[in-house]
Structures are given as structure tokens and as C-alpha cells.
Structure 1
Amino acid sequence: MEHLLGLLKIKVLKGVNLAIRDVSLRTSDPYVIVKMGSQKLKTRVVKKSTNPEWNEELTLSIDDPNLPIKVLVYDKDTFTLDDKMGDAEFNMGPFLEAQKMPLDRVTSGTVISKVQPSRENCYAEESPIIWKDGKVVQTMVLRLRNVERGEVELEIHWVDIPGSRGLAM
């Protein structure tokens, strides 16, 4: 527990215009894996969709905030290995910087900062970091790599753990 900084809640919202992997049906059965270091979390499979809605919350224990968070999308297959549908990654740096700010007097809904899309990241559009209902929340649309098309929408927020070393690094 003394090495743990806190928890990162990742809400996997949806996939947009994902690749077709079940060619005969012109659809896919996608699911998402979120990886960070040795941690690996998975959403449920959404059958027959290239625009799936998961709205599923996954929780990572954070002890090294410098590790990237990897998002991998797969198509579930019954008799063969699952097909890759692309990947993306993001780093928590800007989000954690916003998390450390003194925000107790900030109005809910205030944009604290924004992460701009660039060639060095997987953001498909500007990603706002917002003070919302007493917590810092970042919404993001990640463009999938190594695939012909597709994006995944996520929302993240931080949870402090009593007894952890917290973000005051």
C-alpha cells in the first residue's frame, strides 16, 4: 500500500466506426483490454456492432504514473484466436498535474486544461480536463492505430486511497 499512489477509474464509454472483422456478417464482436504495467482489465463483449457502447468502469491501481495506459480492441471469435481491431495509448501526465491543483474554489464544469491531438499521441480531438462534481475528470477520444479505422471514447477520474502516498510527489 505504501507504493500505491491511488486508483484511476477508466470508464470505457464506446467505440466509434470500428473495423469490420466478421466479414460475412459485415460487423464485429468487440471488447476492450486496458493494460498498464502488469495490470490487465477487460470489458464485456458487445455482439455484432462496429459502434459498441460499453459504459463500463475499470479500475487501475497506480504506483508508477509514468507508465502509459494501453487500450487494445479485439473482435471475439469462437473457434479461432480473437482478431485485433487496433490499439491506442495515453499518458496520465496532464491529468495528474490538474489533479494536484488547488481546486476547492473552482465551479463545477470549469475546464482546467486541455490536451491537444498531435502526431505524438493518439487523441483524435481536443481532450478537456474538467472539474466536475468535486473531482477532476478527463474525457478523451482515442484514434486506434494499426487498423484501418476506429476510435474509442473514455473518461477517467482519480480516487485517493487512505494510507497511500497520494499524488504529493
Structure 2
Amino acid sequence: MENILGLLRITIQRGKNLAKRDARSSDPYVIVRLGKQKVKTRVMRKNLNPEWNEELTLTIADPHIPIKLQVYDKDTFSPDDKMGDAELDIKTFVEAAKRHLQNLPSGSIIAKIKPTRENCIAEESSIIWENGKVIQHMFLRLRNVECGEIELQLQWIEIHGS
């Protein structure tokens, strides 16, 4: 693998107020895509506020390619129902991670990302230097659906030699 900048660990923490796709609830799971890479969480049965706390890892070669999240309701006898999607621009996060900030005190804010019409961020999110790692915690508002948010955390993993 050439031209790899590093790894991005995405912790899908939880879903909040997800859309109902079955009679009483939904069985949600999240698919995360970056280019040809695809990772997904486990299915949470009958839960509109699931807590996954699952770590998914992607290889980052081009920070200009956005990360796409899709939430689905798992169905047994028919195709899975869409429960919304979101897109995440990681350019600012990767730039902050590549700055080599080892001398910053833990808890230092490196950058702030404000919600806009172009991004899916539900509220202001900070990229911080915490315990020797670049981290960003955020809520993404799902699009193409009546309601729902996904809470997640990004963490940069440096690859030696990159």
C-alpha cells in the first residue's frame, strides 16, 4: 500500500432518535464507506436509540474523499430499509493530525468545525489533542430521512514512515 497518510479509527458510539421502519421499531446498523473500503457495525435489534460503541478502521490515502455513512434497518425476508445517510469531510481533521503536535497539553483544541448546509454536523465539533492523540467527537444529522443522528468519534492513528 503506497501513499497511505495514516489510519482513521471511527468509533460509532450510538444512534439517537432513529426512524421507525418496522411496525414498532427498527433493527439498525451502520455502513461506513471510503472509496472502495466498506466496514459496518453489528445489528441492534428493536432499538431506535442503539449503543454500538464499535471501532471501525479505515486507511486514509486521500483526505479529499469524504466518508459516507448509511444507516439501514435489517430485514429478514425483504431488502434492508434505508434509515438515512450522512457525509463527513475529513480534510481539516487529517491536516490537524499531520501537524505533529506532540508538545501540546492534553485537551488543547486544534480546530473547531461548525455546522453548515454542506456538512451533516449537528452541532459545533472540536478537533482536540488528547493523551497524545488527535480526536474529534461529533453528532451527524442523518439526511434523506425524517429524523435521526449518529454520535461518533474520530481518532487518528499514525503509521510510522507515512
**Structure 2 SS opposite 1:96:** helix
**Residue 152 of structure 1: which of 150, 154, 157 is its match?**
150
Superposition pairs for residues 117-128 of structure 1, below 5 Å? 117-128=115-126
Instruction: Give, in whole Å, the separation in 2 of the partners of 1:50 and 1:71.
Output: 17
Superposition pairs for residues 14-29 of structure 1, below 5 Å? 14-23=14-23, 26-29=24-27
Superposition pairs for residues 85-124 of structure 1, below 5 Å? 85-124=83-122
Structure 1: any 5+ residue segments left out of the alignment? none
Instruction: Give, in whole Å, the separation in 1 of the partners of 2:63 and 2:108.
Output: 24
One-letter amino acid of the structure 1 residue matched with residue 119 of structure 2: N
TM-score, normalization by structure 2: 0.96
4+ runs of 1 displaced by more than 4 Å? none
Offset, 1:159: 1.1
Quote the sequence identity (%). 62
One-letter amino acid of the structure 2 residue matched with residue 12 of structure 1: I
Aligned counterpart, 2:78: 80
Offset, 1:7: 0.8
Superposition pairs for residues 26-37 of structure 1, below 5 Å? 26-37=24-35
One-letter amino acid of the structure 2 residue matched with residue 53 of structure 1: E
TM-score, normalization by structure 1: 0.92
Aligned counterpart, 1:13: 13
Aligned counterpart, 1:50: 48
The CA RMSD over aligned residues, in Å, is 1.0
Structure 2: any 5+ residue segments left out of the alignment? none
